[in-house]
Each structure stands twice: as C-alpha cells, then as structure tokens.
A and B are shown apart, each in its own frame.
Chain A
Amino acid sequence: MRWLYLHFPSLLLDHYAMTAPELPLAVSAGTPPAILQANAIARNAGVQPGQALATARALRAQLHLIPDNPKREHVYLREVAASIYPLAAPVFPWKPDGLLVDARALKRLHGSPWQLERHLLEHIRQRALQVQSAIGETPRMARILARWAPDCSQQPGQCADQILARLPVTATDWPESVKERLQRMGLKTLGQLFNYCPSELTRRLGPEVTRELQYLRGERREALDEFLPPPFFKQHLELLQETAHAEALRFPLQRLLQELESFLRQRQHATDCLLIRLKKTSGETTRLDVRLSKAEHRAEAFMPLVALHLEQLQLDDEVKAISLRVTRLLPLAAPATDLFGTPQQTHEEVAALLSRLRARLGEKQVHQVQCRADHRPERAWQRLDTPASTSMPASFPLRPLWLLHHPQPVSTAAQRWLAGPERIQGGWWDGDYVRRDYYIAELPQGRRAWLYRNAEGQWFVHGWFG
C-alpha cells in the first residue's frame, strides 16, 4: 500500500463556513443556476446537489448562495497542499479537489500508511475541512476509493480489489459517454468489467477504458505533478457576511494569523512584516502594513499589533474579504546583514520609509493621485494607497489645478466673467448628488477663480487657476 489520497468534497463551502459555521450554505453554478454543493445545515433542510435555485430556496429560505469559482477552489486546494507539505512532501495536487501523498516515502517519518493517514486527517480536520481519504496500491486506486468508498480503507485487512469490484462504473474518470454506454450494455460495476478481455473493451469503448484499468492495476504509471510550495505565505479569506466593524475582523484575522504561525513554525521561519488587505464591497482595498521591531513567528505576538491597527482603522465601507501576505521570511535565528544591501533591500527601505511616513503623519496622509471618469470635480480624481501607473481621459474640460478640498463661499463680486455656465449634475447613484453651474471668473485681485452656484443659488469658489 503505497498511496494516500485525500478528497475534499466541499472546499469552497468549508472555506466560507470558516467565518460563519452556523449558516446554511450552498454553492451554485450553471445557467440556469443549480445547486452544486450544500453544507450539512442546508442538506438537512432538503437542499441537494442538482436542484434548481428556486427549489432550494423554497426548501430553505435563508440559504446563502456562493457562486462556483473553480479558480478560487484551486487556490484553496493549493493552500491545503501547502499546509500539509511539511508533514507529507511530496504532495501531488489532483484538480480540482484532491491531494495525493506518497506514503512509502514517508514511512520513516510516520510509520505505516494508516498512521500517516491518521496524522494528516487530524491536521486537516483542525482546519475544519471536510475530507475523505483512502489508501491504495496505485494512485488511481487510492483516488477512486477515497471518493467512493472512503470508510473501507480504515481496516488494514480489507481487500481493496473486492471493494473496487463492487464500485459502479460511474466512479471512474471516464468520459460521461463511455460510462453511459457501459451502463446501457448492462455493465454496471467495475467487477463486471474485469471479466472482459481488455482488447474487446478497447475495441468497443476506446482506449480510455483500458488505460484507466491499467492505472488502477498499476500496469501504467500516472503522470503526477509535484506540488512546490510558494516561497511566501499568502492566504485569502472571503467573509460570508460583510462587516463594517473593525472589531468584527478580529476573529477571521486571528484564524489567518494561526495559519501563518503554523506555516512559519513548519519552516522554521519568522517575519517582521505582515501585509493585510481588506477588500471592500465598493471594490476598493484597504492595506495595512504591520511592521514589527523584531522578527516573530507566533500568532500571539502578531495579534496585539494587528489589533492596534484595527483600532485605528476607519472603515467607511463593508469588508468582504481579507488576505494576509508575508513575503519576508527570515530564519528563526538572527539575520546577518550584507555590506551593500540588495535591490530587494532598497525596495524594503522605500517601503519602510513609506511606513514610517505613514506612522508619523498618519495612515491617511500619504497618497498617490489618479484621474477618475466622473463629471463631478471632487470625484474626478482619486487617491491611491499603492503606487500604480495612471492615465488621463482623452478629452476633459478645462479644470483648475488647485481644487479646494472644501468649496468656500464667495465673498466678493466677480470682476469679469470669462466662461460659463457649465452645468454639472450627477451622483444620484451614490448618495452624493450635485447640481452646480460653474463659471470661470476674475476676482478683484486679478485671481482667476472657478466659481459655482448651487441649486439654491449660493456661490462658492471651488478652485483657483492661479
């Protein structure tokens, strides 16, 4: 028995359930959308894969739906792979929802395959993931057993071949058309197939059938891609219920920090620099750079600092996802400094400067400016937290370079009207509705002002042309 296969039937759901374990959840996909997976609470209400959304919602009104996202699922699979990697390398991800582990290579570390299985399951269940596992002579056998007969491999004595023979042909990775043909010839179990001459099967059903049987029996080698762990830590957490309270972010952040701790611990690393991104419903991202005075690896060392940042945080919008990224991995021992430094270091220094500036002037005082397509002048530009390349709209009306942050009431009469009115109206959709008539005028001291009159007839200066 050489291979251990781990099957994760509900990666997406488990991920969301991390932050909301008590809600009925389901993943939906397709047009018209149908249920793909449902968690236990939803299943208890009768929600089942394959149901139309309408049916599912009729069964459980409060059902939370998550759109299927294979890309995300793959990310999560890699996260799981990264987390078991230190225990069980080499790991082979099997898209979209499986991991294969070479048990023989780990014999010295874990003892028997069943012991390995126990260790891994323990580790995975700590992460509140649903998992099915099985051990098999070949990767394919382990996979099929894990997916279709996960409980059978718990007893070492059981003969895997017998279990295999009882499995339906639909358990295989063959194309749907082949499975259907087999069933429509009355060949419903793998055991039935074993009785037929492979060449007769190939002749009728194409080479896939025989190939898979060969994989199963180990007569042909699987091409396996080994998982290479990323050289940094990155985890992403989607919040099921958006929140605008910084306090409410503590719990999910705590989780992420624990993940980080186990990551660092396994690799004997530490870090002095965490990057937390809060993705908001508006699509904007708030970035928290948490810098420690000395490298650390324990969640409890990170948490107070993170909490401090949270306290200072002014959330104007709801947060829907959090990510934690750590790229600066230092050995647990003290570092030695290079004499000249490296570009990596220079970049670090800029970042450190920015961080210091922010610390000194305040988080909100350091920005980059970018144009935005909006008729409202105060919305026609925006601050960026992170440097990015910017572009100007092709044609834009004349605007003053100095736009006042708060328009000021006009006290003196204009000497000369140079242009206007230009009526600007908009923003009904974001609660910041404006309707103004703009003029360019010369004020007594010869200054050119950008004036406007609002709908109530009051006059304001909104900018200076110099």
Chain B
Amino acid sequence: MIIPFNHQSQAHCESGVTSNLLKHYKLPISEPMAFGIGGGLFFAHLPFVKVNGVPGSTYRIYPGQIFANACKRLNIEFQSQRFSSIEKGMNQLKQNLDMEIPTGCQVSVFYLPFLPEVFRFHFNAHNLIVYGYEGTNFHVSDPVMEGVSTIAYDDLAKARFAKGVPEPKGRMYYITKTPSSIPLEDAINKGLKQTVFFMKSPPIPWFGVNAIKFLAKKISEYPKKLEPRKASLYLGNIIRMQEEIGTGGAGFRFLYAAFLQEVYEVTNKQAFKELSEEMTVVGDAWRNFAYAAARVCKSRTTDVVGYGDLSNLLLSIYEQEKKFYDKLDQARKG
C-alpha cells in the first residue's frame, strides 16, 4: 500500500512534518506557519542534563508540541499514540497505511540508514512521515531529505522504539478530521502568546531568555572551571544544536522570522513586518556567535579573552531577544 504523497523538503523535522501532513489534507499551512502557530521557538540550557558528558541546550520547544499545538489551534482533530510493544506499534502503523492515513512518527536519528552517517547520533526527537509499505520496506518522507526514502521494517522498528531521552515509545500521530475553514488569525495569536510566555516568564534560569543570560555566564566560567578539551566540546555542542540540519540556521530564529513575515501578510499589521526584520537581525547575531565560537573551539585553548567575548555576544543577544518579546506581545495585542 503506497499512499500518493507530496514530499516537500523543509528546514525542520517536526514543523516540516506538520506542514506536509496538513498540505496532504489540502490545508495550505507553510512550514514557518506551522512552527509559529505550534509555538516552536524556545531556548533552554540544562547543565545538569548531560548527553555523552556534555550539557544540553535546545533552541526549540519539547518534541511533539509543535504538531499537537498547531492542530489544536487550527481546530484539526488528530490522534497521537504510544505503544507498549514493538509489534503493536508496527501493526497499528500498517493499519493506518491500509486506511490511507499518512502517519507521523517520532524516531531516533541513529537508526535511519538513509541519513548521512555524520549526523547519526542518539537523537530521539526526529520526525518523519510514513506513507506506504511494500513487503518489509516502508516508504518515508523525511522533511530534511530532498527526496523520499525507504527503510526496512527492522530499522524503522528500532528507530521508533529507541531508548534514551526522550523515549519515543513508538509514538505516532496523524490527522483524523479537518474543518472546512480554519481559524488562522486566532491560531496565530495563540502561537504568539505561547512563545512570548515561554520565553519571558519562567522564573528559573534554565528556560527562556533568562537561559541565554545564564549560558553567557556559564561560558565566561569555562576557562576557569573546565580543562581546554571539555570547554571546547561544550561549545561545539552549542554550535551543533544551533546549526544542525533541522534548525533552519541560527537556532530556528530565521524560521521564526519567516513566520512573522507571513503573519504580516495575513494580518496586514506593519508591526509584524518590523518584528520579522528584527528577528532576522537576532538570527544573524546567533550566527555571528556560532562563527566566533567555532574559532574558539578550533583553537582548543582556554583563552579567557575568547570565552569572555563569546559571553558578551550572548549577553547582547539576551538583551535583543528580551526587548523583542516585549514588542511581540504588544503587536499581538494591538
């Protein structure tokens, strides 16, 4: 069974999957729109959550949130399931495909043979769409790939039931009912409201804009607290999280700027055009930070000046983003 499916390559897996699934049901929601409505933008730095000994940073919201929030806000009915056994999870997927329902799956990047080896780490929050099967092969549309791919039953099963954090547990999700018209402006407003709230309100230092300031402080301490090799690895991870496939570059900031431009086109409010331009400037600042960080990384020294400069770059990004979300909140209400 192979469902006719229009694969489009996108910048980010989950918003890409969301957009491609919606388009399958004739709802013209672009990737930036899905990302923005789903409240995809975020920042967190968690020094106590270590993967391979390196503290975690993220530039986006928790996996699964973008699809679920975008659907809820657009009045689209969907199902999301996890499974206690591999067999059940794979059978249910086949049943979906038999009913011609293209189905999103949360998977680990490590078990996807069609991805370049260099990107295959134990990252469990990747998303793709399964749109058919033939014998023991599944047909998948992975938004970060230019074309469609096939994957063997065993590999897909491993990818869906990978262990570690976050554990996918075979999570699959799909659209069950679409409305005749969608409340686009209302959905946009809810998405904006969530992002402003998540970036500005957390009273703890690890989440939102505060986390940018927190990371700036941490980086300034790296030369004192860590050996050169560790410090350089910590930095490298921040760059990878920010620039890897699926971020749209600059830690999703450009993707968000693209969303704000579409918001301007929908609402005709000039403020959003200006905010889109402002977010582009913020994205460029993040890229500038990555460029400088990569140079420090390469030198493998704990040059205090280098780390101090990086810390200052982040502090200035913190100031920019903080003001940005205030203005975004005003534009949303205005």
- Chains A and B belong together in one complex: no
